[in-house]
Amino acid sequence: MHVHEVLEKSLLLVGHRLYQKDIKLTRSWEANVDTIRADGDQLEQVFLNFFINAMDAMKRGGELSVSTQIGNDEEWVTAIGHGNGEAQEVLRITVRDTGEGIRGDDIPHVFDPFFSTKDYGTGLGLSVVHGIIQEHGGQIEVESELKKGTAFHILLPLVRFDSKVAAA
């Protein structure tokens, strides 16, 4: 399936909320190939969760940036751990916000079930998302700075096909 199509569909679903909160959206599809083996509905759930969390982290205004890149950077490949000796290409999807950021002490726990810093919700969103990405052979990395924002990097194995891929 094509990741950019799922990203666009997910962004369309949150578009009204972005408008309401006066959040600027920036897209950067640097990946010239965006095919992966994945369940489109599950991936949509992943992206929606990240977008909603990003919007919740920002007060009125702010910026949500979504980008894709391809790499076979050793660090990325090690993160998704295929270890078969072949150079594995990785599709990296980055969701970045200019929100409050995550405390350093909390970062190791963001994917723990029932962990939340919000006054509402179950604390299951990122736990479920993490499980979905792992089931797809991927990994998620977090970088955050208080008062400056957070970036989640979703690393998934890229698949190059000789023929056309079915749309999501």
Cα angle 58-62-64, degrees, rounded to a multiple of 5: 90
Q: What is the pLDDT of residue 120?
A: 83
Domains and CATH numbers, the chain: 3-157 (3.30.565.10)
Q: Is the pLDDT of residue 35 over 90?
A: yes
List the helix and strand counts (H, then E) for the chain.
4, 5
Q: Taking residues 132-141, what's their average pLDDT? A: 94
Q: Taking residues 144-166, what's their average pLDDT? A: 85
Q: Is the pLDDT of residue 60 over 80?
A: yes
List all residues 6 or more positions away from 75 whose beta carbon is below 8 Å from its beta carbon.
none
Q: What is the pLDDT of residue 121?
A: 80
Question: Rounded mean pLDDT of the chain?
Answer: 89
* Residue pointed to by tokens 């190059």: 160
Q: How far is CA 71 from CA 37, 90, 114, 129, 164, in A?
A: 17, 5, 33, 22, 22
Do the beta carbons of residue 6 and residue 43 sit within 8 Å? yes
Q: Quick one: tokens of 109?
A: 């726990």
Q: What is the pLDDT of residue 124?
A: 86
Q: How confident is the model at residue 77 (pLDDT cuts 50, 70, 90)?
A: low
